[in-house]
Amino acid sequence: MKSNWWKWLCAGLLFYTLIAGLLLPVPRMPILHETIRNLYFHVPMWFGMMAMLGISLFYSIRFLARENPQDDIRANEAVNIGMVLGVLGLLTGMMWANFTWGSPWPDDPKLNGVAIGMLAYLAYSILRGSLTDESKRARISAVYNIFAFVMFMLFINVLPRMKDSLHPGNGGNPAFGSYDLDNTMRLVFYPAVIGWTLLAVWLWQLRVRTRRIREYVLEKTNE
Amino acid sequence: MQLTSQVVHLFRRELLLEQRQKYALAGILLYIAGTIFICKLSFREIHSPASWNALFWIILLFAAVNAISKSFGQESPGRMLYLYTICDPRALILAKIAYNALLMLVLAIIGLGIYLLLIGNPVQDFGQFTLVTILGSIGFSAVFSMISAIASKAGNNFTLMAILGFPVMLPMLLVVIRASKNAVDGLAWSVGGKYLLALLALNVILVVLSYLLFPYLWRD
């Protein structure tokens, strides 16, 4: 119980997000209407993905510093979970964009930025697949991970400034901050972000443990 | 400075290697000429400066992947081991980046000549365009030298070089295309200046990143 408190917190926050997110009143905005509730599900996916990619970067750097194979597993699994969240974020975003912007993939720098990020991390998986030697794979993929992360951050932070985005808060579109003057949306949004990010961490922890068990069993059967 | 003298020596070594296999350079030049000719015949005419500009950089992008993939690919394991014992890895990557930047610049200038001849010349501010080309060549070189080192460790296949390189290359490529579009349109330096600065900053980040990460890549 003691060390599991955050899992309970995660489940509680997500139940709260589902119920309050669908039932609490939301501001009436033209075009957006009820789709504004997507804020509780779409945006936290990006927070979760960024958290996972950040964790992955941290463990990649630590791997290069200490050469502990466990760090490589952690970095790799964080990328995998990040990609799952990225796909979910894209799907929820595309559904929403179809209703509000009239097309699932409008020419928007944020969308393109995420697509490039996904390409970079899929390439990371392919790079890992093409290397057979374990320590070599760990080191080379850690180097690529750091390289890709820096360029991805540049891509999503620098380039959207060069062009207006359709996203709220950019290019003359009002930010979400101006919608929730009554603060009810904020009341659901922040718990939702924390809840989904905790879920991502939980999934990641489970994946890392499964990998560890699998490797242990492999070692035992090889003996 | 030990590092500087090592970089100079390794740079000279790259030049010497290139001289010994002139066919490789000639091959890349022919590749560029062939690509431009294919574009000429496929497009017939390009009226919009934006398309002219984008096409030029895409041709250079593929030329860069081709030209730089051999950078580490041509080094035999024995030769790498020899280099490992006598020099600093950081000197090696800096020399490779410098040499590949020079190579890219030569390719870009010759490519531009052929491109202007075959497709036409909408460029209004040549000074600015040249500066963008120089900065772009350094950037292409920094990205692909590092990616070439990674790909050479993983069996060195061309597909891997492209899929690893393109997503990482994109921030650079988009800024280059934007900056050179300004030059083509002949916008004032005060307008295009911030893209040139962004390009310079990206180059510095890339070179520093390669300098820091390459030593980890090198050990086998």
Nearest CA in chain B to A126: B160
Testing the interface with B: which of A62, A139, A143, A146 to mutate, by most B Cβ within 10 A? A143
Measure CA B161 to chain center.
Answer: 13
Which among B163, B178, B205 is the nearest to A162, CB-wise?
B178
pLDDT of residue A172: 47
Distance in Å, alpha carbon of A37 to nearest chain B alpha carbon: 32
Copy the structure tokens of residue B213.
């990460």
C-alpha pair distances (Å), B202 with each of B3, B5, B111, B120: 23, 26, 24, 30
Tell if the pTM clears 0.80, that is, is over it. Answer: yes
User: Is A131 in Cβ contact with B170 (below 8 Å)?
Assistant: no
| A107 in B contact zone (CB under 8 Å) | no
Copy the structure tokens of residue B103.
């190579």
User: Is B174 in Cβ contact with A130 (below 8 Å)?
Assistant: no
pLDDT of residue A2: 67
CA dihedral sign, ordered B120, B124, B126, B131: negative
Which among A117, A127, A146 is the nearest to B164, CB-wise?
A127
User: Is B202 in Cβ contact with A154 (below 8 Å)?
Assistant: yes
**Locate tokens 């991502």: which residue?**
A200
Packing angle, helices A42-66 and A69-100, rounded to 10: 160
C-alpha pair distances (Å), A60 with each of A51, A82, A167: 14, 15, 32
Tell me which amino acid residue A205 is: Q
**φ/ψ (deg, to 5) at B188:** -65, 155
Tell me which amino acid residue A124 is: Y
Testing the interface with A: which of B200, B202, B208, B216 to mutate, by most A Cβ within 10 A? B216
| B155 in A contact zone (CB under 8 Å) | yes
Rounded-to-integer distance, Cα A8 and Cα A12, Å: 6
pLDDT of residue A166: 61
pLDDT of residue A61: 95
- Residue A108 pLDDT > 80, yes or no? no
| A140 in B contact zone (CB under 8 Å) | yes
Comparing C-alpha atoms, which of B195, B197, B66 is closest to residue B140? B66
Rounded-to-integer distance, Cα A148 and Cα A150, Å: 6
ipTM of the assembly? Answer: 0.88
Question: Could you list the mean pLDDT of each consecutive 10-residue stretch along chain B, which spans 220 residues?
Answer: 85 89 90 93 87 93 90 82 86 92 93 90 87 91 91 81 90 88 85 84 91 85
| A131 in B contact zone (CB under 8 Å) | yes
User: Is B166 in Cβ contact with A127 (below 8 Å)?
Assistant: no
Comparing C-alpha atoms, which of A120, A140, A71 is closest to residue B171? A120
| A146 in B contact zone (CB under 8 Å) | yes
For residue A120, the chain B residues in CB contact (below 8 A) are: 167-168
For residue B170, the chain A residues in CB contact (below 8 A) are: 116, 151, 155
Which residues, in sequence order, are CB contacts of B91 under 8 Å at separation 6+? B3, B6, B7, B10
- For the stretch A125-166, pLDDT in tens is 999 988 888 888 999 999 999 999 998 888 877 666 665 566
CA dihedral sign, ordered A170, A173, A178, A180: negative
Copy the structure tokens of residue B139.
């950037």
pLDDT of residue A180: 47
| B146 in A contact zone (CB under 8 Å) | yes
pLDDT top residue among A82 and A26: A82
Which among B154, B157, B171 is the nearest to A154, CB-wise?
B171
Mean confidence (pLDDT) of chain A? 83
User: Is B205 in Cβ contact with A155 (below 8 Å)?
Assistant: no
| A40 in B contact zone (CB under 8 Å) | no
User: Is A116 in Cβ contact with B167 (below 8 Å)?
Assistant: yes
- pLDDT-derived band of residue A41, with 50, 70 and 90 as boundaries? confident
**Residue numbers of B between 177 and 216 with CB closer than 8 Å to A:** 178, 195, 198, 202, 205, 209, 213, 216
